[in-house]
Amino acid sequence: MGENKDLFIGYTAAFITMIAFIPTLYDIYKKGSAKHISLPTTALYLISLILWVIHGLRIDDWPIVIQCGFSGVIQLIILLLILFKK
């Protein structure tokens, strides 16, 4: 029973992490600009997600790969918007 609770907590945390920056994307869309978003924070978070994907692939842990890959795509979009949508 404890293992099921741990999995539930882990998958819930992963899901929340995956969708956490969707409101930021929406905010950029509504404001028409990404100048209020931190470039260093976004870049560092993207780098960490890429490293997590590599780690997940190396240990064959697909929940890590999927969660960090999805989050990485969102961060990449935000990074590109910061760089090109002033």
Q: What is the number of domains present in the chain?
A: 1
With residues binned 3-state (H G I as helix, E B as strand, rest as coil), the percentages for the chain, rounded to 5, are 85, 0, 15
Please give the average per-residue pLDDT across 35-61, as a whole number: 96
DSSP letters of 11-39? HHHHHHHHHTTHHHHHHHHHHT--TTS-H
- The CATH number assigned to the domain holding 38 equals 1.20.1280.290
> For position 44, what pLDDT does the model report?
98
Is pLDDT above 90 for 20?
Answer: yes
Place of tokens 């999805």: 70
> For position 86, what pLDDT does the model report?
65
For the ranges 5-14, 15-24, 64-73, the lowest mean pLDDT is seen at 5-14
| Average pLDDT score, the chain | 92
What pTM was estimated for this model as a whole?
A: 0.86
Domain with 78 in it: 2-84
Length of the chain: 86
**Cβ–Cβ under 8 Å, residues 75 and 43:** no
